[in-house]
Structure formats: C-alpha cells, structure tokens
Homo-oligomer: A and B are copies of this chain.
C-alpha cells in the first residue's frame, strides 16, 4: 500500500482550520507564525512559499520577514528577539540554512522554547529526551503522524532507523522508542546493514543516497518510510528504490508526496500547539 503523506497533510490542515474557525467564533485571533528568511537561496525561497501556502489553508497567519544576506548577526538576533517578545506571534521559524558568515546556533538560541515550532532548541531536544511535553522536530513528527494515522502497530515492533541526524534520525528513533518499539539506529559506519534492515518491521530511511534501499534490504510486509530527498536527472526521488520495494512492503511512502508534505503539516500542528498552550 502506498501512503501519500500529501493526502494526510491535507487532512491535518483541514482539521487545524476547523479548530481555528472555532477559536475565531469565540472572538479569539488566529494563530500566528513568523518566518524569518535571510538571503535568496532558491530552495529556501521555495520551502518558505510552501509554508506560507500551508498557513493559508490552515487559517494560520503567516508573516514572512525577508532579510538581506548581508545582515549582521546582531541585527538578525534583534529581529528574532523582537518577534520573541511579540505576544501576537505564537511561533517563530528561522529558515535554514543561513547565508555564510551567520551563526545559526546563536540565532536559533534567541527563539524561546515556547515559540520554537521547529523543535530545534536545546531545550526542546532535552524535553524529547526526557519524554516531556514540548515541540517535536517537524519531520519526525510528520513520520509519526503517518504511522499513527495509517494504523501501524508500533509497540513491541522492531524499528530500524537508518540515519542519526539531529533533525530526523535521532528524534524519530526516540519517538518510536516512546511508542515502545525496539529501536535500532544504524549509520554509515554500521556493518551488515542489509541483515539489520531485513529484520525491521518498520524501516525509516534517512540516508541521503538515491535508491540505496533495494528489495534485499526489506522484509516482506515491512513498513517503509522514505525520508530521502535526492535529485537524479532533474527528478526527485527517495533513498528507497520505490518500484522494487513497493511490491514487498506492506506500506511505503513515495518521494515526492510522502514525508515532505508531512513536515510542513507538522509545522502547522506545532504552531497551533504554540497558540493553544497560551490559551
């Protein structure tokens, strides 16, 4: 079964819009996301457009602050701090990567945990670690939503995560563990990757290598979540050889229209949460 994250994302945004309508009926304002974009990286411009569009559909106010790549670290941080102090702003997203010469970690640290809707702050990472309420990073959150809404049983299952990045692999491994899966984390230095993957009931692939996971890595009936985003001959594809694997997996997400749209939908969920936490 092919599961389209794009479809699930659509439902999520509709659910959010419905909730916001309810708040508006009570005379409350809309939730508000402030997106800070520095420079003119085409991919970033494209991602921000997608976020603006998602906000519209979700009835979330979105304000984009587009700054020159020549902005100083201090000026950038002033703008972030201002947004942080603004009570009408619920979530702040700093579009990464920042142009060269700017310090991401320092800039991100100016966003208070309560507005860190990307879930990137040390505080929110600590909260994930101690299983406390907080903002989970968007891609992992999106992956978990795909699994839950597709009725995938997680508890006691063997989950294998290939990739250990801060953004995806590590957080999603922890979130699967919190749902009581047995979790194995592999990476570029793992040996016998094939035989480890063959035991996975749930396989999360976040390697960054086009079509690396072929059918011999996948157990029959496994759930395969492809987080990869690669461009081959101008065309987007994942880390999983989709055509080969879809006949073996019980569930597989395509690229595009798989995890990607769910990342954005999760940003909408986090922004709504930031707003609701203050009610």
Contacts and interface: CB of A to CB of B under 8 A. Distances in A.
Interface stretch (A3-11, A118-126, A247-255): A118-126
Interface residues of A, number: 30
A180 interface: yes
A180 B189 contact: yes
A214 B21 CA distance: 59
B191 A187 contact: no
Nearest to A191: B156
Contacts of A132: 122
How many copies of this protein are present in the complex? Answer: 2
Nearest to A120: B130
Interface string A180-220: 10111111011100001000000000000000000000000
A129 B128 contact: yes
Interface string A160-183: 000010100010001001001011
Contacts of A155: 189
A186 B183 CA distance: 7
A189 B156 contact: yes
A84 to B, nearest CB: 18
A110 interface: no
A127 interface: yes
Contacts of A185: 177, 182-184
State the main secondary structure of chain A at its contact with B. mixed
B196 A182 contact: yes
Nearest to A122: B126
A190 B182 contact: yes
B187 A184 contact: no
Contact of A177 (B126, B164, B180, B191): B164
Contacts of A166: 129-130
A191 to B, nearest CB: 5
- 9 closest A-B pairs by CB: A126-B126, A122-B126, A182-B190, A184-B184, A180-B189, A125-B126, A125-B129, A156-B191, A156-B189
Given A122-B126, A182-B187, 11 more contacts: A121-B126, A122-B129, A122-B132, A124-B126, A125-B130, A129-B129, A156-B191, A158-B191, A180-B189, A182-B191, A184-B184
